[in-house]
Amino acid sequence: MMKFSGIGFLVLVYWIVALPGVAEIDPAKAEAVWLFSDGAGRKVVDSSSHKRDGTLFGKGKWVKGKFGGGLELNGT
């Protein structure tokens, strides 16, 4: 069985907790990137170079979010 030192344990926790939250999207390589930060309307703009914009259906509504706007869905 392996023993972890205090620093080794902290590094392990960092790798498990912090790194999965870091993600980078390359819009040039992605087929479509919808950020859902448009703020109004029924159109969702594709931020990739493919320009595959979408149309919202249903009862989703635009709301103010923690980092700008966002789309709130009721979960059904």
DSSP state of 46: B
The structure tokens listed for 48 are: 């990739």
**Which residues share a beta bridge with 65?**
68
Query: d(Cα 2, Cα 4) in Å, to the nearest integer?
Result: 7
pTM beyond 0.85, yes or no: no
Query: d(Cα 9, Cα 14) in Å, to the nearest integer?
Result: 9
pLDDT digits (tens, 9 = 90+) for 1-60: 455 566 666 676 666 766 556 677 776 788 888 888 888 899 989 988 888 999 988 888
